[in-house]
Every structure is written in structure tokens, then in C-alpha cells.
Amino acid sequence: MADRIALDVLKGKTVFPPPVWLMRQAGRYLPEYRETRRRAGGFLDLCYDPAFAVEVTLQPIRRFGFDAAILFSDILVVPHALGRDLRFEDGSGPLMTPIAAEQIERIDVSGFHERLAPVYETVRRLRSELPETTTLIGFCGAPWTVATYMIAGRGSPDQAAARLFGYRWPDAMRTLLALLADVSAAYLIRQIEAGADAVQIFDSWSGVLDGESFGCFCVEPVAAIVKQVRAAHPQVPVIAFPKGAGSRYVGFRKATGAAAIGLDWTVPLDQARIIQQEGVVQGNLDPQRLVAGGRALSDGVGAILRELGGGPLVFNLGHGITPETPIGNVEAMLDQIRRRPPR
Amino acid sequence: MADRIALDVLKGKTVFPPPVWLMRQAGRYLPEYRETRRRAGGFLDLCYDPAFAVEVTLQPIRRFGFDAAILFSDILVVPHALGRDLRFEDGSGPLMTPIAAEQIERIDVSGFHERLAPVYETVRRLRSELPETTTLIGFCGAPWTVATYMIAGRGSPDQAAARLFGYRWPDAMRTLLALLADVSAAYLIRQIEAGADAVQIFDSWSGVLDGESFGCFCVEPVAAIVKQVRAAHPQVPVIAFPKGAGSRYVGFRKATGAAAIGLDWTVPLDQARIIQQEGVVQGNLDPQRLVAGGRALSDGVGAILRELGGGPLVFNLGHGITPETPIGNVEAMLDQIRRRPPR
């Protein structure tokens, strides 16, 4: 097998210049993505059609030669495969019918993998179509983050509905999170068996949890997923991304067993170095620096390379790339990371 | 002067049971507030009419006997007094005309204090109408947080517009923040001279800043305000509330010179103890625990009292009380803090 440097780094090796990929790199900032999306129809059609999903996953690899590709999908296909309704409307994000506490015991997991078969097929095709040196990353949402959408029925800035649900019905919440952890682990294992080299668990809303809730609603379910994935595939690195975890990033690797930790852009680099002493880190440029370009971009990239380049680092953004990002700024960033002279 | 225990604690004294007040305690969860608001008309009419503003500030003191009252106003009266337009529409929050980078140099500070005269009058009346033992807290928004609204023209979950502005036009941003720091310091000094015992600086959006930006857009302007207030009134404690600062809470007191630090609800209590070793802390119950009541509430209150009650603590929420909060839950919380038997 050819060297996959992103995979090597995720397993603990230090490589400089570091491998790089961007969260949401298959996205609306790319004209070819917008064109494929237009042809596919709805967002879920794109996720569930292997031909389209493979195409958009490959687009940023062709254009930029990123060191890793991430499966194109959505974290909410998991509750969708559990029989919850899901639709995406332009401008309002995902919409679901909110789940009630008493419905949680009745969630039916039969048919889960059958419904996700197109995702596994996408992973299989990707592994055969990607360059040998490109690391293929599968993913799922963390149970807490997936639960916030299932409970509120939509996104919200502070996840007040899910926090309240967890306080009012802690047993129902634990049941839901444990169920999501089990099916998510099974989902990641199938992705690995279809060809994923590594997997990432996105806990986009872990940052809204208070001290006690963070332990039982974020750390425990993520640790449960990691444990099951490692039992089945000990060589496959798991990246945990507890966005907004703040001071709780320190120790998160040990508490969850994850191989690598994704850092959001608010993690200061001196703190990131402490976290890197515990293992591999991934991140963490502010996506708005990539929109701005110029000095803000080169200063931000330079600081990350300087502070974190001496240890195991997968260069990434601290959150998904935004639709407004100029493609020329992505190129400039890559030139700087790869130490090529400016174009 | 009678003992004001909240003020004593803000100056560094440990008192148990701790004094307590709640951010946004004059608010929509109170029927008497909703009634006054209805009579006043718009939200800004409430802020700028001393009779109404005094009335709603006093309501939660009468009902619950909180140890501190906070001036009823809004952080956006500062840009409003600088001549920026401001309106509040139900459901969409504050709306302003976004400021352009080239307009910043032309901001006119003349007439600032005249426009804010009703606020100073409110403080004067409050100090004479409040019980002698009630600490009166004045406040302003931190420059970064005020700037996010001036730049975007409205609230947003991640303040992308202001972050981008700061990256594109760092000099204009620094000019704006320095100007806001100066006028905010003058505003707080006038509040103190009208009778405020302590003042709080709300940096509600500090948590979205990356490592470098946090230093220059949050810490520096807040430190500039504290320095000016302390020079004029060295005995008056300044509370800084860098909401969402995460790992950056540690050292924030020293970096800004604030007497006390407001902790949001995501700060874990072991971290809060470290911050308390640096000085006074205020917080940090999740407002959703207060909505939920029962075990979630008593566990949360109990943990804060146990972990932080041995040092200087002003008990508070980690963010504003929400309109859905049952009044009975506020009473239960106060009974628990004040160690009275359940009603």
C-alpha cells in the first residue's frame, strides 16, 4: 500500500509539512459542487446517490490534492435510518419531527444498515477511485449532537431544547444516547469495512453542555463509540471533534480513547500544544481567515505551522469551510503549508 | 452604610451562604415585568424612561430579595448614543444599520452623555429606592460584543461578519474597539457617580474569537475599560463576563484587572475552582436547570455551593434567565441557597 501520510499522522507520526484537508471541503464554495448539487436535486438525494456522493467527494481532491477525502454525507442520516423523518429546506437547515421522551424506547433499529447501504456503497467506490495516497475518512455525528436535532427538530444556537430535555428526562436521554452510540459504532464499522481508513465523530454541539452534562452526554457516548470501533478495528484511528469544548479539550483524548482530537478555531495555540502532548491534533484555522485571505490568512496558517508543526498535526480548519470562501485563498493556504512559492 | 454582602464579596470577602442575583432577573419570566413592558410600549421606551426602568429593576428585588439589582438597560444603548440607529423588533432581536469600515473614523462622540442622561437618572433613583443592603450593579457591553452588532446589524450565532471584518480591516476594528472602550469606561464612571456600587462588562460573544483575536479584540479593550474605571474609582469592583471564553478564563482576571469574573454555565466546576483561586467568581448555573427544576436544579445548585462556596462567590446563572422559567423554581433555588426548608 502506498503511503497515506494523513493516515500515518493520525496514527501518531509527525510529518512536516503536515497533511491537510478541510472540513466540508466538498461544498458550496466549489462551482463544480454547486453544479452537481443542482443536477442531484435535494441535499439528501446527493447523500444517498453513490454516483453523486462519490463525485462531490472527489471534486476537492482533484482540484486541490488534499491529503484526505471525507465521505460526503450528513450526520442526520443516522436518525433517518432509524425511521425518523428528515428534510432539508434551503435557508432553514435540517428539519425533523421532534422526538418525545416516551418514543425513545420504541425506536426501531431493524433495517438500519439496509437504509444506509448507499453510504457503504459510496465508501467502497471512493476507496477504489481515490488516489492510493489519499486517506479516506468516514464519519458520524456524536450522539449528543444528533440528539439535539432529534429533540428540537431543527438546529438552534444554544440547544436549549435538548439541554432542557436532558435535565427533565435524564433516563430517556441516556437511553437515546446509548442507542445512538451503538448504532453509530456499527455505522462506522461498516464504513471501515467498506474502505474507510479513519473515522471522525463530530460533536458539533458539545460546547453548550455544563460540567456534569459534558461528562455523561458527550464524553461517555463518544467513548462508547470509540471502544466498539477499536474492538472491531484496532488499527483504524478515530478522530473526535468536540467542538466548543473549551477547557474540556485537555484530557478528552484519554477520557474517550480517541486517537486524534479535532480542535475548533477558538482553541488558543498554547492550549493546543498541551493537547498535542496527549496525542494527534487536527485543526484549527478560523474559517473566516480563509474567507478574508491576505495577511489574516498567512498569519493564521503560519502560527499553526509554527506552534503545532513539531508534533503530530493534520492541518485543517477549526470548523467547516464557508460558501463565501474564494478558491484562490484555498490555493494560497495550500502553497503556504506545502512551502511552495506564491503563485 | 449598611452591609451590602454582594458588594463585600465582589471586593474579595468569602460569605456563606453566598449572595445571589440572576442575569436578566428583570425579565419576561415575571408577570409584573410583562405588564410594565406592555404599558411602556417598545423595549427602548422601557430602557430610556427612568420611571419604567426603575420599576422593572425593582420588581425582582421586591419579589425575591436578591442581594443585587442590575440596572435595567441594554448593551446597545452605547452605539445608539453614538448616533447609530437601533430598533428592537419582536422575534428578531436588535436591528441596526451595519457600519462600514470607513465610517468608523467619523463616529461622533459629542452628545454621548446627554443621550444617556435617562440611564444615569435611572441609576440615581434606583440607589435611593433600593434597600440599603442591596448592591446596585451598573453595566455595559464589552467593545467586541457591541461591535459585533454594529458590524452585522443584528445578532448571529457565530458572529462571522464581525470576525471577517476584523480580519479584513484590523486597523478599523482596533479603532472601533478603542473608541468603544473609551466611551464605555466613561459610561460606567457616570453610572458609578450616579450610585452604582459595582459594574459588569458583558462580553457575550468573546467565545467565537480565535487565539490571537481573543487577545486583541476581547482582553485588550476590556482591560482598557477596567483601567479607566479603576483610575477614577479604585474602590468599585468591576465584574468581567467573557462568555464562552473556555480555557481562556484562566488568567483573564489578571490580564484585564477585573475584580471578579463571571463564569458561563459551560465552565466545569473544577476549572471554576482554579479561576476562583485568582479572585472572585460569579455564576454559573445552567439557566435550563432553572427551567427544569426538581433534581436537575437541586443537583446543579448543590454542586456550585459545594465546589465554590468556600471562596468568594456571587451565586448567579451562567447566562440570562429565560422567559419560560417557572417562578416556583426561582423560589426553590433561593431556598436551597439560603438553606431554608423547602416550602
Q: Which of A8, A28, A34, A127 is catalytic?
A: A28
Task: Reply yes or no on whether the pLDDT at A92 is more than 80.
Answer: no
How high is the pLDDT of residue B293? 98
How high is the pLDDT of residue A90? 76
Q: Which of A4, A29, A33, A37 is catalytic?
A: A37
Total count of residues recorded for chain A: 343
In Å, how far is A211's CA from the nearest CA of chain B? 4
Selecting from B248, B296, B318 the residue whose C-beta is nearest the C-beta of A167 gives B296
* B87-89 and B93-95 beta bridge pairing: antiparallel
* Cα–Cα distance, B138 to A1 (Å, whole number): 66
Helix, strand, coil % (nearest 5) of chain B?
A: 55, 10, 35
**Does B249 sit within 8 Å of A247, measured CB to CB?**
yes
With contacts defined as CB-CB under 8 Å, which chain A residues touch B168?
Answer: 292, 294, 296
Which residues of B lie inside 8 Å of A (Cβ-Cβ)? 157, 160, 163-164, 167-168, 170, 207-214, 244-250, 265-271, 286, 288-289, 291-292, 294-297, 299-300, 303, 318, 322
Interface contacts A/B by beta carbons within 8 Å: 116
Of A114, A120, A140, A119, which Cα lies nearest the Cα of A193? A120
Whether the Cβ atoms of residue A232 and residue A225 lie closer than 8 Å to each other: no
The verdict on pTM exceeding 0.90 is yes
Question: Which residue numbers in chain B have pLDDT < 70?
Answer: 1, 341-343
Cell numbers at residue A84, please? 425518523
User: CA separation (Å) from B137 to A52, A252, B127, B277?
Assistant: 58, 38, 10, 23
With contacts defined as CB-CB under 8 Å, which chain B residues touch A214?
Answer: 266, 268
In Å, how far is A138's CA from the nearest CA of chain B? 26
How high is the pLDDT of residue A1? 60
With contacts defined as CB-CB under 8 Å, which chain B residues touch A290?
Answer: none
Task: Reply yes or no on whether the pLDDT at A137 is more than 90.
Answer: yes
* Cα–Cα distance, B272 to B308 (Å, whole number): 8
Of B157, B193, B130, B143, which Cα lies nearest the Cα of B2? B130
How high is the pLDDT of residue B90? 76
Up-side HSE of residue A44: CA atoms within 13 Å toward CB? 16
Note if A295 is an active site residue.
Answer: no
Torsions phi, psi of A314, nearest 5?
-105, 115
Q: Give the tens place of pLDDT for each residue, A255-297.
A: 999 999 999 999 999 999 999 999 999 999 999 999 999 999 9
Domains, chain B, in order of start with CATH, read: 5-337 (3.20.20.210)
How high is the pLDDT of residue A84? 96
How high is the pLDDT of residue A343? 58
ipTM reported for the complex surpasses 0.85: yes
Catalytic residues of B: 24, 28, 37, 74, 149
With contacts defined as CB-CB under 8 Å, which chain A residues touch B249?
Answer: 247
With contacts defined as CB-CB under 8 Å, which chain A residues touch B269?
Answer: 211
Q: Which of A33, A48, A149, A249 is catalytic?
A: A149
How high is the pLDDT of residue B237? 98
Nearest chain A residue to B264, by CA:
A210
Side chain identity, residue B159: Q
**Does B299 sit within 8 Å of A266, measured CB to CB?**
no
